[in-house]
Structure formats: structure tokens, C-alpha cells
Structure 1
Amino acid sequence: MNIIAIMNDVTAYFKEEALRELHEELEKEGFRIAYPQGKADLLKLIENNARLCGVIFDWDTFSLELCADISKLNKRMPVYAFANNYSSLDVRLSDLQLNVRFFEYALGTAGDIAVKIRQSTDHYIDTILPPLTKALFKYVKEEKYTFCTPGHMGGTAFQKSPVGTLFYDFYGENTMRSDISISVTELGSLLDHSGPHREAEEYIARTFNAERSYIVTNGTSTANKIVGMYSSPAGATILIDRNCHKSLTHLMMMSNVIPIYFRPTRNAYGILGGIPKQEFTRESIEERVKNTPNATWPVHAVITNSTYDGLLYNTDYIKNTLEVKSIHFDSAWVPYTNFSPIYKGLCGMSGDRVPGKVIYETQSTHKLLAAFSQASMIHVKGDFNEETFNEAYMMHTSTSPHYGIVASAEMSAAMMRGVTGQRLINDSIDGAIRFRKEIRHLKAESEGWFFDVWQPDSIDDLECWPLNPRNKWHGFADMDENHMYLDPIKVTLLTPGLSPDGALETSGIPASIVSKYLDEHGIIVEKTGPYNLLFLFSIGIDKTKALSLLRALTDFKRVYDLNLKVQNVLPSLYNEAPDFYKNMRIQDLAQGIHDLTVQHNLPDLMYRAFEVLPEMVMTPHDAFQEEVRGNVESCELDDLLGKVNANMILPYPPGVPVVMPGERLTEESLPVLSFLQMLCEIGEHYPGFETDIHGLHRNEETGKYEAMVLLDSVVHSDSKPSDTVKKHAGKKAVSGE
């Protein structure tokens, strides 16, 4: 921060000369000087340049009205009003609460004024810095000699090697010097939650409307396990979203719990829907407990909020309806919900505590706020045993945390505080809505096809848009009233080929082709479905990036309509298999993949694959224990019926498990196998379009996809495959069989 703005609208000679002297003295103090052209230009400069650290203006021209306008953008911004002997201050007590300091125009005093401005600037920086980051900056400036870890000693070791100097120069001095040991006592301890670390977590809790918050340095994957290890003792029954992140599957593999799965919906586009209201009721849970062997009343529930595609629950309903001791909202994708009123009642920390319950919310701070990768948070409301919880915390936390990650989590909270944070998230929402409207505008004026947006017909209101049963745009059947809401920041574009009701058209453009084209032009898609693309309009997205995306989408339409060769449109794909793609044109590629989709009737197949769960033979924990004992073997995908899986099988997209450890595919869950076979078949037909499927590996010798399954000898005798299933084992499943 080193920019000072001077509103130089003065004409008197003695004022001009005094400001000229001040300009020179401020430059000696290391400041850069900007001269906005009028009030509107100044306010735009403050809004768009975060390095601005002060404003100097002429009292006779602007008075305190300008201070009030500046305060609306940044309450802490130092403002300096210059007056002379003949000026009338006319200041009220409420005016003095604004962050303004008064100086008098006088020649020869510029040096003293510049020093005072430097002091005010230093105080401003000290005020806005959060506690841990402030302590870390101070430690780095002190340049102490350490005889402890890490071994690079503030980067010194790197500079003793030619290749090390390249690494050092790339990351810079401060990155090296701030990578310090837990032995530095003045920074406290992340594991003990002491000193500046504790202050940082208290600071974060106040910012995110939590009673207690924890910084986690290995992502929400770890945060989810910490919450689960504390909340779910061995032998307990838990309720868990079937569309959970794989980290929660890993939790169940680590902790011996009995899962009862919530069953979310899904539409024809493959977009993950929400869990119906009915599943949260006591009657529904009683029935599920009754039909689950060894299950007792659940002690804990895990719900994904928001979904990958941006659907948020009415969390107030869930908190008040679900009869469990603790509820965990896995909110990895929405760390910003506390900073805009449109998310009120739609997130874990919204509102007050719920009597008799503990509410947890885990957030991937790095995903959509400004933090380093792996920076995550756990927020808590309700009474819990902090000492026991911290044991679970320490089980998953390194004794050598990276202080840069910790400080970035705290800094993300600092950035979201007050009017500045509200402006950041509101700008993000506004940018996403403008982009949505532009897509609809381009679609309306395009000849032939263009991309569409998955959203309501009217998006004029600044809100999270409800998915109500009377609406057709969302494509979900039997949607509950006032239960699910679409986050405007998560923008899903639709490609031609599939209608909202699931009907496949005669021609289409699979989204994977568009995704590869965008990648060729430096634009990375967050998630690619069969006929949809997800883009995240986080606070880091500016107009330049949004316009670049619009340009790339219109360019794709142009090259597609011209039917150019794959070699010219997708050179990276062509280089993977030049013989296969030789002379192939882009429309031929799109139609070929679309025809495979039609052949397998993908919308129906995908719906049925996620509608019917495989048979749970044993818990994920028991299945993993058999795997580590070595009681597993490799099984070809086509022979998977009747076998008990050792690991989860999880295709990307959509990034949620279709088979859990300890589950067996039967005739009833045949669509799951058909869905996996279809994904593999597309990759076999079209090189470069292979689906990443966690839990399946390709045998280099046979070319067949295989999974790890448990040996029949370790599967309980009363859970052997039925005779019907045995007849299907080894027979390739196809859609509709």
C-alpha cells in the first residue's frame, strides 16, 4: 500500500505551492501520488485500486460529504482535509466519527505533514491486518537467526545451489522467510490454539458468525474427517448424503460407523439435486433404521450444502427438523455465504444456535475466497467438548503447519469484513448475473444454435433463485416448495442436444468438446457434464476474464458452424491420436459422441444409476480392513455383478461415489454397471475423451477396466449373491437390459 490520491482542484497560488511541496515530501516517504479528475473519478479509484492508502482533499471545495462517500467504500481509509485560516470548519460531533484528519495550508510544513501521513498510513495498515498475519509480518521483518526447522533457513539453503536459486527467485524472499518452525513461540501454536493462532481463530469466528472456528491446513477433505471423527463414535449410526465428497467416504473407511444414506435427486443434465424434505423427518429415519442391520438411532448427519452445481438448502428447515445431536454441512464450495443477505437461512452458520444440537460447517476457504490451496475452516455453533474435539483435530493436522497457508485463511476473513467484503461478494454476484444475461442475449440474436444458461426465465432480482415444483427450467421431478435455491455465482451453461425433460435430440454438441476447446484457449472449466459446463464466478473473476470467456464461446460457435478440421480446432486432441483424427471434422466428432449418448440413452441410464443403490454387504470400514489384510483381488468391470467392492467407484464428473466400499452390484443396481461401461466405451471409441473414474484402473495387458473386490471367502455366507445375480455375473450389462 503506497498510493495517495490528491484531489487537486485548487487554484490559489499558495495552495498549489503547498501541495507541490507536499507531493515532493510524500515521494520521499515512498508514496506514489495519483490525481483523480473529480469526485466520481476518485471514488472509482478507491473501488478499483486496493493499494490506495489515503486521500487528500481541499476542505473549501469538498467538505465532509466526500468523507462520507469514501467511508461507504472503506470505513478505515485515512482522509486528510486541508484548510486555511479563513476556512469555516462547521463540523458536527457525528462528522468527527469519520476517519478524517485536518491540516492547514502553509509553506514549509510539508515535511511534518508527510511524516504524520506516514504514521497514519502505518496505523491504517496495522488496523486492517488480522492478528496472526500481523505477528508473522513482524517476525519476518526482525530477521532473527534460527537454529531450528525448516532446513532451508529462510531460503538461505536454496541460494547455495544453482537450481535452488531458481526456486528461490521464483517464490521470493518473503515466502521463504515466512516458512517458519512451530518452535517460534511468539506466534503461538496451531495445535494448541494459543497465542496469535488462537486470536486468528477467534477473529475468523466473529467474521463468519460462528461461536468457534478452526483453521485447517489440508483442505476440507481433512476438515470433514476431523468433524466426523469427533461426532461419530465407533459402532454409531450416521446419516450421510449419498452425494458426499469422497473425503467422507474415507472417513467411513477410517471410522467404524454404520451409514444410512440420504437419497438426493438428479435431473436429466446429470446435475446433482437436493435431498427431499421427507428424508429429514423422524418417520423416514425410523423406517430406514428399521431396515438397516445393526443400525441404531443416528447421532450425526452430514449434508452437502451447496451441491457442486450450486444448489443450497433451506438450512433452517433441516436444523429444526432433523432429530440428531449434530449436523455437519459440508460447505466446501460456499465460504462466502455469510457476506450477502441473499444467503440468509441457506447456510450452516446462518442464524442463531439450535437448542440441543451442534451445527458444524466446513468450508474450503481457498476455493472461492482469496486463500492458498489447502486453506480450510471448521465453524461450530453449539456446545461441544473442545478438548476432545482437539484430539480429533490433532490426529489430522501436521505438527509442522505451513504458516503461509494459515495466514492466508485468516487473511481471507480479513478481506471479507465490513463494507469492503460486502462489496467484493456483491460485485461477484453482479458479475455473474451480467454474464448470464449476456449469454441469453447472444442466444436470442444468434442464427441457429447458441449456448443457454441453466436458470429461471427471470433473473432480475438479486437473490438465490428457488427451485419450486411449478417451475420446469430446473428439470427436477417432485421438487419440494421453498427447499432448494440456485446460487447465482455458480453458472451452468448448456450445450445443444438435450432438453430439460431428458429428451435427446437428433444432433448435439457434447460439452466435453467445448471444454477442450476452451482449454486450448487458456480457459479452464470447473466441471464438465454430458451437455453442461460449470463456471465459478468467484471474487477473483473480473470483467476481462468474463469477456474472454464470452469471446471464446462465440469463437467456438464460429468454428463449429464452419465445420473445421479437428486438427485445426483441437490440436492437442489431434496430437494424442493423429491417425484417428486425421481428416475428421468438428461436427463429425460431436455427432459421433452424441450418437453414443443416444445409443445408451444416457439421461435415463444416469438417472437409474443414481436412483438405485447397490446392496450394502458390510460397512466401508469393514471392507477397508479386509483390503489392508490383503483379502482382495482384481476383477474386470464386466464381471463386477455379484462382487463386493473394496474401494469406492467414483466417476468425474459428477464427482460423487456410485459404489461404496462394502457394496455389491446386483441385478437391481445393474444401471450402475451400465453407466460405468458407457463411460469407458466413449473413451475407447474416442481417444482423449476417457472419463476419470476413481476406483477403476485399466489393465495394460488386456486393456480392460478393473476394480478391486473382496475375496468370496471373506464375504459373510448369508450375503452371497442370489442365484439371479449369479446368472448375470460375467455378462456385459447394457442400458435397458
Structure 2
Amino acid sequence: MTKNKTKRAPYYNIGQLRVDYWNKLKIETAELGRCQKGSANEKNHKEKVEALLTDLKGVECYFASPGKGRMRKLLNAFNSQEHDSLSHMVAETTKQLVGDSYRSNPDFIDFDEQSMESAEEHDQHVSVRKNHFEVLFVDDISEQEEGKLRHSLRALRTPNDKFTYGVVVQRSFQDVMIALLFNHNIQAVVVRYAPPYLSKKITPIIMPYIEKVTKLDFSSKPETELGPLMGELIKKYRPELDTYYVTDTALGHLKDSTIKGFRRIFYQTEDIQELHLTIMRGIAERYNTPFFSALVEYSQKPTGVFHAMPISRGNSVFKSRWINDFGDFYGRNMFLAETSATTGGLDSLLQPTGPIKKAQEMARDAYGSQYTYFVTNGTSTANKIVMQALVKPQDVVLIDRDCHKSHHYGLVLAGAYPVYLDSYPIEEYSMYGAVPLEQIKTKLLQLKDAGRLDNVKMLLLTNCTFDGLVYNVERVMEQVLAIKPDMVFLWDEAWFAFAGFANNYKQRTGMYTAKKLCDRYGSEKYRAKYKEHIKGLKEGEQSLLPDPDKVKIRVYATQSTHKTLSSFRQGSMIHIFDEDFRRKTENTFLEAYMTHTSTSPNYQMLASLDIGRRQVQLEGFELVEKSIELAMVLRAKINDNPQLSKYFDVLTVQDFIPDKYRQTGLKEYYTKNEGWNRMEEAWEKDEFVLDPTKITLYIGKTGVDGDTFKNKYLMDKFNIQINKTSRNTVLFMTNIGTTRGSITYLTNALLKIADELDDEVKSLSDKEKEIRDKRIYSLTQEVPPLPDFSYFHHSFQAVPGVPGGNLREAYFLAYDEENYEYVPLNDVLSIMAKGRKLVASTFVIPYPPGFPVLVPGQVVSEEIINFLTVLDVSEIHGYRSDLGLRVFKEKVLDRHMITTSIGGMAMGKKKKQLI
């Protein structure tokens, strides 16, 4: 294991630093304006203001707004000792920057050319706010030429434009890459001339935030190759951006990779108006929402409704004397857009040919898949669709036991045999981690040795888990494909839909990795590497690399768009990157899709999926980064506050992930004394990482269990909603809808809870203190062991002695009520002690988090019963406390085992006869 060598930083990201420095500058310039001229106090504030201006100059040069123009004006005011004017300009700039109002005001861009006005004043001059973005020009030009470029592009604006943009110019390869990492306003990049490689303006303040850039080493490349190379890297780091190339190179001399790498290539003699129009067109295409726009247009048409749905157009609602409040609550547009029509500009979800098809194609491009399908029944249904489409009865599926219950029900429907994989336990906090790669490979090799590898069809893993554990997707897929080169992967990314729009996260998603591996295995470079690898293997040693002649990339990802991005509830997507989809799976997939998809899908939900795609393409990079930043801010606030840390701890990376799975040694994201760790290296190399937007708060020191803390304190007193608790933790999540205000509100609530706990402790009698201490001891020390999957009873094993169980057979055997009985939970252990094996006849699923601790056909273990008796959740699917645990009767198991044996013998004889 290597020691963590990542740099510490005083802020999590450059955005946090930038806003804080502007706020500091506002305070210091206000103080400077009040100082008596020539005083020692004035000198002190001058030094602070000068230092802040210098630091901000090194940051703002990567932004069009406020940018270099504003910094020049501020420095001029400072040098001219116009302190009141300086204070006013800094205050206004900070207000606009923090509130993002500058993006609705294109006149805020060119400060050196126009007088400054507030966003409120600007909105009085124009009736409609126009979406504003920035265009990055790569061009080693003079300041004077830069001014001419800005003026030329500004002159091309018209009142009818839907969008406006500012210009930020960078003059070196490194500066371009820094701007792409820092500036989320950039929507297009124009590479005009071959740039020099090294930057001349990197300042110490930004060094901790540009490791990705400083690790790149293309300084030996000729400048003529840097432009095309830049296009490749932009697609890697910011794939949503439009890229354009301006060159003098004749078409015959342009490489195919260069031509394909840019949206369009211009020649330097061409009119700049064409470039401007192309930039605007590119944004308009991403802004387009085919289905949402069609639905809006439909809702505005006068129609006569002579089909189903009286609620359509709101006729049955607004004319009613008894339910018109329903219409008032939702508004008229909701009902105008309600229809069961699939014509008139709309489309059919089951067989789309119009706007739904186009919307799915645009989602495909946004999420990096080969095919994307909208799902209106939630990811539970998406999981069943994929399962039914890909596996058939008696196929073997490797599946993490603590995955969502929908996968287990999908196995029942498909009739596949599950081989359950156990996640490593995190017993101190009563939760599970993730499945180690070594266990997956061990199960695969056991199946291979038993001659069952050909029956294995799919590996199904949850990425990321409810608690935020994320797999090294590339490593898992590569090493599994080395054993079984045609393995199908289903990555349940229900909580990870946002991940494709952040640099660190993206590399651990199913679609990004599928594309990466597909390109890798198809290259001659990999073929040569594989040959060398095979030569170096010892006899009998398993290869860690897939055979390029046999490997097929077949990856499916199901995502709950509504959980982490903008969509109405149950809005989900299935993303596919499958080299064999058209040849092997398309027909069965479409059949499964029709099996589980309603013929009356909710059009509002489909429209929200369409509009959510527009959002992530145009501002996903920004919003996801801010959601991570706010999660980090909350972590720091709880850790740094003595009153909060008295009762609460934010669990760290090392609390969730054992040392052996953290190759980089990263232990935590933040410490009070040392600041922020950079997490890039860990996300690149470690077997598991922790998603920082999942904030698990350890509450054992409060003496209150998780369920009580959620209901009594968070919900009842502060109306704070959370999904998941354990015996001694509660889980908070940030997302793209989280605001600074909501983080402040949560912090305030936790402070009030801490104060209330203080008051409660002070008022306790000696006996009450003893009871409280026992509760705390129980929550912090008396940790119940977490049960692994036990095993299938041998009458439900697919093949005796080989991993895999006949889940479907056990499930349907319990349809006859004569086959099962109930055993009170308190009596289970004593019955088992007498030698009886109890076998579950139903799923037993605590919710949340929603994965089964028992499945039909599984033998009940002592560890499982101990776990069930200490659960703190009130909702356990498949278990009724008044009846007890539902198990198969002994005589049923004996009879079934005999029947199964006879059936197996008959099948064996039949096979021999056929042979």
C-alpha cells in the first residue's frame, strides 16, 4: 500500500475558494473605505486588499465573468486610491457572482467597454431573460486582438437570439485544460491556432486544484498536434461541450481522427459570422426537448376529447363542484397535457417513431450509451426488464445478496439460478459494504471447475450502494471478462444517475467504462499487450486480461433519474452498451420492455425525463460539482463544530472501506487541522471509494437509535426527510437540488438537537443517567454481527454442491398455503437448537434499504435471527410480527427433495438415451 501523497487544500474546490475570496475582498474593501488616509489601519487593509486582488486575478483569468476586465477595473481603482468606488464595485460584483445573476445579464461581461448595471436594472430593460454561457477560444493572440474578437462577436448579436455568450481566451494548452476544470459556464470551445503547451500564469493559489492538468505531459508534442489532442481531451473531461477547430491545413492532410473529433472544422479565411451561427446552433440543439416541446404544443391545441381519460383537458375537474381544489392545486397546464393520444405530434412509448424516439436518442448521446430507453415505472421495473431480456430459466446469475429486492423478484420471473455474493460487513454501524472482486472471481472459478461456466450469464452489482460505496468498474469488468469473456454486466446505478457528469465519478460508471474497454480491446496496442501478458503467465495461472479475440462488451445500467437528477417520481432510464444487442438481445429486450411497461405511460414523467436530459447537458457539470461541494461543506461544519462533534461524527472513507481495498491509503476527505484531501488518485486506483454526497452521521453518542432519531427529531421537529437509518447512523444525501440554505437549515437543526440533548442530560437523575449510559453502550459497543447469505436448502440447489439456487421453484412452492407454517421469531432459535432446519418460504426484506436477509429456499441461520431481533426499522416486507417467520413445513421439504431427486434421475436417463 502506498501512502497518500495527494495535496491538502484549504477549500474543497476552486468554486468554494473563489466565492470566499470575493467575500473577503468585499469585507476588506469596505473597511479600507472607512479608514483614515495615511493611518496604520489603512496600510494594513491595503496590504490585505492587494493580496486578495492578486490571488483573484490568478483565478478570474479563467472566466469571462467577472473575468480579466473586471479585475483590471478594480486594480485601477485600487492604484488610484479610489477606495469608495472600489468598495462599491467589489460589493456589486460579489452580489452578482454569489447570486449567479450575472449570467442573465450579458452586459455584465464587458466591463471595460460598458458601464456596470445590476441584474435587476438589466431585467427592467429587457422583457425576457436569455440563457447566457461562455465560449472558450484557444488562440495565442494579443490583448488588442482579443478585444477585436470580442467586439466582432458582440456585433453579431440580434434581439431575436435565444442565448447570449461571453468570450474567454486562453493562450496555452495547460490554461485551456484549467479553464475546462474550473469554468462550468463554458459550453463551446473554439481551437483557432496551435497553442504553446506551458502556461505562463499559473499561480500558487490554484495549484492544489489542477493536479489533473499538471499530471498531463504533452510538452514534447509539436504545437501542430496540440489542437487535435485538445479535442480528444475535451471529449474525455467535458464530453457535453461543442468543439470547433479553425485551421489552414488542407482537407487531404487532416487526419480522420481530427475530422471526427470536432463538431465542425473551419478555415481561417471563413467569415466569423458562420462560426457565431454554428455556436448558437449547437446550443440550440442541446436545448431542444423533442417530447416536452411536443407536449407543450399539444396542450395548447383546441381539441374535442372522445376517448379515455375524463381528466384530459381538465374537463372533469374544473367543472366539478367537489374536486375543483384538485385542479387549483396542480394548475391547468397539468390537465391540458393529460392525454392517452399517441398522435397529433405525440408518440407511443412502446413503439416510438417521433418525439419520444428523438428524446431517447438525445438521452443516449448525453449519457454515453449506444441505446437508452425511458421507464415510467421506476428502476424496480427497469431491473426486471433487463433481467427478463437477458436471462432465461436455468441461466446462472452472480448477484450481490444485498441488492435491491426488484432484482430478486426479477430472478423469480426469469427462472434463473442466483449465486449470491456477500458484501463485506461494516458491523460497527450495522450496514454492509460492497462485494470484493476476489469473491466474484472465486465463485466464477468454482463454477468453471464444476463445468458450469457456460451457464453463467450475468454479473449484477449495485453501484453505488445506498450508503455510497462505489466499485472500480473497470477493474471488475476487465478481470471478470478474463475468466468469462462474454459476461453480461448489469450495474444498478439507481443512486448514480448523476455520476456521468463529474470528472471523478464518470470513470466509475457502466457506460463510460464500457466505451473505454470496447475501444481498448479493439486496438492493436492491447493485442500486443495481451500476447506479452500470456507469455508471462505460469502454468495454470489465470489471466487478468481478456482475450481480444473472444471478449464482448455487454453492459447495462439502470438509473433512477428521479433520485439524483430532475425528473418526476418513478422516472428512470435503461442505458445499454452491448456489442451483441442487435444480433442477440434486441428482440427479447423489446418483448421484456413491452411486458413490464404500461400501455398508458405518464406523459408528464416522460416530459420530465426529456427536460432533465437538457439540464444535465447544459449545466450538469456545474450542478453535480456544487452538490459535492455542499456535501463537503456539511462534513467540515460538523467536524469543526465542538457542539456538533460532541454528539455526532461524520463517517469517513476508512470507516466504510477496509485498508486492503484502499490501495492509495486515503482515509478521509477532510480534517480540521490539515484541510482537504484531493480524492482524484483514490477514485482512479482504489477497489472501492466513498461517494461524498452520501453523508452518514454516526449518532451512537446521543443514546438515540437511528429510527427514533429520524422520526422524533428530524421529521417531527424540523420536517427534515431522510431515507435510511441503521441502529446508530442516519444517512443524509446532497443532490443537484440541494441549496446552501438547506445545508444551513440542517446544521441549525443539528445544533438545536445537540443543545436539547445537553439540557436533557443535565436534568437526568442518577438512575436515568445509568439507563442513558446503557443505551449509549449498547449503540456503540454491543454491535450485532451482520449475517452473510447462509445457503439454499439442498432440495432447492440448482446443482448439489455447486453455487446456485432454484429461487423460482421455492417461490412458487409457497403459493400453496398447505406447504408453509409460521414460527414466532422468539421460538426460532430453540427450534433450530433441536436440530430442525428452518427454510424460508418468502422474501424477508427490511425497508429501507430494501434488500432481503432471507429469500425463498434459504436455510435460516442463527446470525440472521439475531440480526432480525435487533432491527430498528418498522417496515419489514414478508414478515408479520403477529404471525412470525414463514417457513416450509418439514414434510413438504422431504417430499419435494424426493420429487426433485426422481426428476433429476429421469432427466439423466433421458440425456443418456439421447446420447
Is TM > 0.5 for Structure 1 vs Structure 2? yes
Structure 2: gaps (5+ residues): 1-64, 70-88, 123-128, 135-143, 166-279, 519-550, 670-683, 797-805, 899-915
Q: 1:136 to 1:466 in 2, by over 3 A?
A: farther
For 1:696 and 1:707, the matched residues in 2 are separated by: 6
Q: 1:636 to 1:77 in 2, by over 3 A?
A: same
Q: Which has the higher helix share?
A: 2
Partner of 1:692: 875
2:847 aligned with 1:652: yes
2:511 aligned with 1:312: no
For 1:438 and 1:118, the matched residues in 2 are separated by: 41
2:586 aligned with 1:386: yes
Q: CA deviation at 1:398?
A: 0.2
Checking the alignment, whether the CA contact within 8 Å between 1:150 and 1:181 is kept in structure 2 is yes
Q: 1:332 to 1:588 in 2, by over 3 A?
A: farther
2:801 aligned with 1:622: no
Provide the secondary structure at the position in 2 that maps to 1:62: coil
For 2:293 and 2:400, the matched residues in 1 are separated by: 40
Q: 1:56 to 1:537 in 2, by over 3 A?
A: same
Q: 1:473 to 1:289 in 2, by over 3 A?
A: farther
RMSD: 4.0
For 2:109 and 2:850, the matched residues in 1 are separated by: 58
2:798 aligned with 1:606: no
For 1:216 and 1:128, the matched residues in 2 are separated by: 22
Partner of 1:299: 457
Q: CA deviation at 1:203?
A: 0.6
Partner of 1:272: 432
**Out of 553, 565, 586, which is 1:357 matched to?**
553
Q: 1:291 to 1:271 in 2, by over 3 A?
A: farther
Q: CA deviation at 1:253?
A: 1.9
Checking the alignment, whether the CA contact within 8 Å between 1:312 and 1:347 is kept in structure 2 is no
Q: Which moved more, 1:55-64 or 1:689-698?
A: 55-64
2:564 aligned with 1:368: yes
Q: 1:167 to 1:277 in 2, by over 3 A?
A: same
Q: 1:254 to 1:643 in 2, by over 3 A?
A: same
Q: Which moved more, 1:367-376 or 1:711-720?
A: 711-720
For 1:264 and 1:483, the matched residues in 2 are separated by: 13
Partner of 1:135: 294
Q: Which moved more, 1:689-698 or 1:669-678?
A: 689-698
Checking the alignment, whether the CA contact within 8 Å between 1:529 and 1:653 is kept in structure 2 is no
Partner of 1:334: 496
Checking the alignment, whether the CA contact within 8 Å between 1:260 and 1:288 is kept in structure 2 is no
Partner of 1:486: 690
2:881 aligned with 1:708: no
Q: 1:560 to 1:249 in 2, by over 3 A?
A: same
Instruction: Give the AA of the match of 1:172.
Output: G
For 1:234 and 1:532, the matched residues in 2 are separated by: 40
For 2:855 and 2:561, the matched residues in 1 are separated by: 28
Q: CA deviation at 1:265?
A: 0.6
Q: CA deviation at 1:457?
A: 8.4
Partner of 1:732: none
For 1:321 and 1:540, the matched residues in 2 are separated by: 37
2:626 aligned with 1:410: no
Checking the alignment, whether the CA contact within 8 Å between 2:130 and 2:162 is kept in structure 1 is no
2:676 aligned with 1:518: no
Q: Which deviations, in whole Å up to 9, do the C-alpha atoms of 1:386-443 show, x marking residues without a partner?
A: 232111001000000000111111211111113x22111111111111111111101x
Partner of 1:263: 422
For 1:253 and 1:530, the matched residues in 2 are separated by: 31
Q: CA deviation at 1:77?
A: 2.5
Greater relative contact order: 1 or 2 (C-alpha under 8 angstroms, separation 6 or more)?
2
Among the aligned pairs, what percent are the same residue?
A: 26
Q: CA deviation at 1:257?
A: 1.0
Checking the alignment, whether the CA contact within 8 Å between 1:616 and 1:663 is kept in structure 2 is no
**Out of 648, 652, 671, which is 2:863 matched to?**
671
Checking the alignment, whether the CA contact within 8 Å between 2:132 and 2:163 is kept in structure 1 is no
Q: Which moved more, 1:486-495 or 1:185-194?
A: 185-194
Partner of 2:113: 62
For 1:554 and 1:367, the matched residues in 2 are separated by: 28
Instruction: Give the AA of the match of 2:735.
Output: S
Q: CA deviation at 1:261?
A: 1.1
Instruction: Give the AA of the match of 1:269.
Output: Y
**Out of 214, 223, 228, which is 2:382 matched to?**
223
Q: Which deviations, in whole Å up to 9, do the C-alpha atoms of 1:235-283 show, x marking residues without a partner?
A: 11111111110001111221211111112111121232111121232x5
Provide the secondary structure at the position in 2 that maps to 1:381: strand
For 2:91 and 2:776, the matched residues in 1 are separated by: 56
Provide the secondary structure at the position in 2 that maps to 1:663: coil
Checking the alignment, whether the CA contact within 8 Å between 1:623 and 1:646 is kept in structure 2 is yes
For 1:622 and 1:584, the matched residues in 2 are separated by: 57
For residues 577-592 of structure 1, the aligned pairs below 5 Å read: 591=773
For 2:98 and 2:454, the matched residues in 1 are separated by: 60
Instruction: Give the AA of the match of 2:650.
Output: V
Provide the secondary structure at the position in 2 that maps to 1:239: strand
Q: Which moved more, 1:556-565 or 1:90-99?
A: 90-99
Checking the alignment, whether the CA contact within 8 Å between 1:560 and 1:587 is kept in structure 2 is no
Checking the alignment, whether the CA contact within 8 Å between 2:664 and 2:686 is kept in structure 1 is no
Partner of 1:636: 824
Q: Which moved more, 1:402-411 or 1:707-716?
A: 707-716
Q: CA deviation at 1:185?
A: 4.7
Partner of 1:22: none
Instruction: Give the AA of the match of 2:688.
Output: M
For 2:766 and 2:364, the matched residues in 1 are separated by: 57
Q: 1:663 to 1:249 in 2, by over 3 A?
A: same
For 1:247 and 1:173, the matched residues in 2 are separated by: 36
Q: CA deviation at 1:545?
A: 0.9
Q: 1:584 to 1:543 in 2, by over 3 A?
A: farther
Q: 1:261 to 1:141 in 2, by over 3 A?
A: same
Q: CA deviation at 1:561?
A: 1.5
Q: 1:584 to 1:334 in 2, by over 3 A?
A: farther
Q: CA deviation at 1:318?
A: 1.3
Q: 1:41 to 1:401 in 2, by over 3 A?
A: same
For 1:331 and 1:388, the matched residues in 2 are separated by: 22
For 1:613 and 1:184, the matched residues in 2 are separated by: 53
What is the TM-score normalised by the length of structure 1? 0.73
Q: Which deviations, in whole Å up to 9, do the C-alpha atoms of 1:109-148 show, x marking residues without a partner?
A: xxxx6xx468999998896241111111111122322322
Checking the alignment, whether the CA contact within 8 Å between 1:213 and 1:378 is kept in structure 2 is yes
For residues 561-580 of structure 1, the aligned pairs below 5 Å read: 561-563=758-760
Provide the secondary structure at the position in 2 that maps to 1:491: strand
Partner of 1:428: 627
For 1:584 and 1:405, the matched residues in 2 are separated by: 57
